[in-house]
Amino acid sequence: MTSSSLSPETERRIRLLFPPNERDVVRNALFEQCGNNLPFLDKLDDVQLERFRFAVLKLSEGRLDKLAQAIALAKTDWRDLLVAADFADDPRAHLQWLPEGR
């Protein structure tokens, strides 16, 4: 099954990290550049993609420039992305991460 949207938990983290005027940019970037187009992730759904999208969001620190850098890392090697976000050792570690609100 492939992703057709962002999961509710991904949306929640976007709301916590980014101001309203940047959220559509973030959504589009995650959907178009950090999803089923990443190597070996073509069959994942929106919930299964959370680990990778949460990692990108975590590394972004709520900044669009850092979001772009994190997405570039995901495109190069998403394993490095998971290591950088401290999500590599435990496949459920991303579920424990929730950013503080703005």
pLDDT by residue, tens only, the chain of 102 residues = 444 589 999 999 999 999 999 999 999 999 999 989 998 889 999 899 999 999 999 999 999 999 999 999 999 999 999 999 999 999 999 999 999 866
Annotate 12-59 with DSSP letters as a single string: HHHHHHS-HHHHHHHHHHHHHHSSTTSTT-TT--TTTTHHHHHHHHHH
pLDDT, residue 67, reads: 98
Would you say residue 102 lies in a domain? no
Q: What pLDDT is attached to residue 100?
A: 85
Give residue 63's pLDDT: 98
The whole domain housing 13 covers 8-96
Residue 44 maps to a domain? yes
Q: Count up the domains in the chain and report the number.
A: 1
Residue 54 lies in a domain: yes
Question: Is 2 part of any domain?
Answer: no
